[in-house]
């Protein structure tokens, strides 16, 4: 075979090899195309699913962004609240510091003790120069009863002199103002209590006073200053102020702790127009009372209601609540209604001899009308659990 013939055969086999390669390539491409055509519906479905997923994710993303914005607001407020909390802590620390100072100096700022001027030394109070917050409550619970007992330490000779004075005597009024009246706490220390404005007593008082704001009350037989109180509604809802009178030392200590917007008087009401050192049965909760049988726990210096009202610098009392365990009639007889302007009275007659009729006879004779009972109370012969309201004629308040 010649060289030329050999070259031709080589070229021939190369061409055949290339043709075979291209054949297999095109055959593979055809198979791939078929497979791709089969996959097309699935790809289209997947694309639609992705689009739907993207569409559905828009709302959660928006909510997430809103949530992040709220988190930023909360973080900002928490910083502000932390700042206010630190300010409050500093304020409390300052108050404790002042209390420490007063204790170290052995004084009671702003509180008068019977027989002593305001800010007088109180020997029963002793304490270390430093008080931490944990010990403060214990300290107060131990010492407050001793303080309260000081209000009931009377000089026999002083009491004998005072007992000769009439209720409108200037010296007697000055004595009560100086030694018996404990003014309300500072505004920032007062406590406002939630009340049920739909309760029967609240509804009646709202009606009688026509939602009058800024009136003045006196509650005699205040107990702990809150339980069974008929004046807390007037104070909390109508922004009244007033005075709470409670003779029992145990009850009086509880009333002090309530921090109401009312003066406090650790005394009882005299049954005459003059003061009287009277036997008193204490430790009976709301049932504590002046005890004419002399079966007393100790003696309390009772003051005429006229004296107390004048010592409180009041010309008018819009509401007087009287619940003193059976001596209500005697107290009512001792009041010079021509000199003391009391608009509305709520009197408990449960233990009064002669009951409701005795109280009505006294007050109707003094120009008051008996506020009508509700129908269910009329059937029971009662008005709000043995209490009756009396409204002064021409007082400007509802009389029926």
Render each residue's pLDDT in the chain as its tens digit; 400 residues.
565 666 676 777 777 677 677 667 766 776 777 676 676 676 667 666 666 666 666 676 776 777 677 666 656 665 665 665 566 556 545 554 554 444 334 333 333 333 333 333 332 222 233 333 344 344 334 434 555 656 766 777 888 899 999 999 999 999 999 888 989 888 888 888 888 877 777 888 889 999 999 999 999 988 888 888 889 999 999 999 999 998 877 788 888 888 899 999 988 899 999 998 877 655 444 444 555 554 545 678 899 999 999 999 999 999 999 988 888 999 999 999 999 999 999 999 988 999 889 999 999 999 999 987 666 655 655 555 688 899 999 999 988 7
Number of H helices, E strands in the chain: 11, 10
CATH of 166-392, one of 3.30.70.1140, 3.40.50.150, 3.40.50.410, 3.40.640.10: 3.40.50.150
First to last CA, the chain: 147
pLDDT of residue 136: 36
Quote the tokens at residue 323: 């619940």
CB-facing half-sphere around the CA of 353: CA atoms within 13 A: 2
Q: What is the pLDDT of residue 190?
A: 85
Distance CA 28, CA 226 (A): 98
- Is residue 253 within 8 A of residue 266, CB to CB? The reply is no
Tell me if 169 sits within 8 A of 303, measured CB to CB: no
Please provide residue 339's backbone torsions phi and psi, each rounded to the nearest 5 degrees: -115, -20
Model pTM above 0.85 = no
Q: How high is the pLDDT of residue 172? A: 95
Interstrand relation of 316-322 and 341-348 (parallel, antiparallel or unpaired): parallel
Q: Which of 168, 342, 148, 171 is nearest to 243 (CA)?
A: 342
Contact 246, 221 (CB under 8 A): yes
Dihedral of CA 167/173/176/179: which sign?
Answer: negative
Q: Could you tell me which of 214, 220, 259 has the C-alpha nearest to residue 241?
A: 214
CATH 3.40.50.150 placement within the chain: 166-392
- How many C-beta atoms lie closer than 10 Å to residue 224's C-beta? 21
| Closest alpha carbon to 173 in 43, 303, 316, 287 | 303
Q: Which helix (H) or strand (E) holds 245?
A: strand 241-245
Query: What is the pLDDT, as a whole number, of residue 108?
Result: 36
């Amino acid at each position: 075979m010649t060289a030329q013939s050999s070259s031709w055969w080589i070229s021939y086999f190369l061409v055949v090899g290339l043709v075979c390669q291209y054949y297999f390539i095109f055959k593979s491409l055809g198979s791939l195309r078929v497979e791709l055509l089969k996959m097309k519906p699935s790809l289209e479905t997947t694309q639609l699913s992705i689009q739907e997923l993207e569409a559905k994710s828009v709302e959660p993303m928006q909510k997430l962004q809103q949530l992040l914005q709220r988190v930023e607001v909360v973080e900002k407020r928490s910083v502000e609240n932390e700042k206010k909390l630190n300010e409050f802590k500093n304020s409390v620390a300052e108050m404790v510091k002042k209390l420490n100072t007063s204790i170290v100096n052995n004084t009671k700022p702003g509180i008068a003790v019977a027989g002593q001027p305001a800010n007088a030394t109180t020997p029963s109070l002793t304490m270390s120069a430093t008080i931490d917050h944990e010990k403060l409550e214990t300290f107060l619970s131990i010492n407050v009863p001793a303080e309260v007992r000081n209000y009931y330490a009377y000089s026999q000779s002083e009491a004998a002199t005072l007992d000769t004075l009439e209720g409108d005597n200037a010296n007697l009024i000055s004595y009560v103002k100086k030694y018996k009246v404990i003014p309300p706490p500072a505004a920032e220390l007062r406590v406002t209590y939630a009340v049920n404005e739909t309760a029967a007593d609240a509804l009646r008082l709202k009606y009688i006073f026509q939602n009058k704001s800024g009136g003045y009350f006196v509650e005699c037989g205040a107990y702990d200053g809150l339980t069974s109180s008929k004046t807390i509604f007037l104070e909390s809802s109508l922004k009244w102020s007033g005075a709470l009178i409670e003779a029992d030392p145990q009850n009086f200590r509880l009333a002090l702790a309530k921090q109401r917007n009312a003066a406090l008087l650790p005394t009882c009401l005299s049954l005459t127009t003059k003061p009287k050192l009277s036997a008193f049965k204490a430790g009976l909760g709301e049932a504590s009372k002046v005890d004419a049988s002399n079966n007393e726990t100790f003696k309390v210096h009772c003051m005429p209601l006229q004296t107390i009202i004048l010592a409180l610098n009041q010309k008018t009392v819009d509401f007087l609540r009287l619940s003193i365990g059976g001596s209500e009639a005697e107290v009512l007889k001792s009041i010079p209604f021509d000199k003391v302007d009391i608009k509305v009275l709520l009197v408990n007659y449960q233990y009064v001899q002669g009951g409701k009729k005795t109280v009505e006879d006294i007050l109707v004779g003094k120009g008051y009308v008996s506020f009508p009972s509700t129908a269910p109370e009329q059937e029971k012969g009662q008005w709000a659990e043995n209490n009756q309201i009396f409204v002064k004629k021409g007082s400007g308040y509802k009389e029926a």
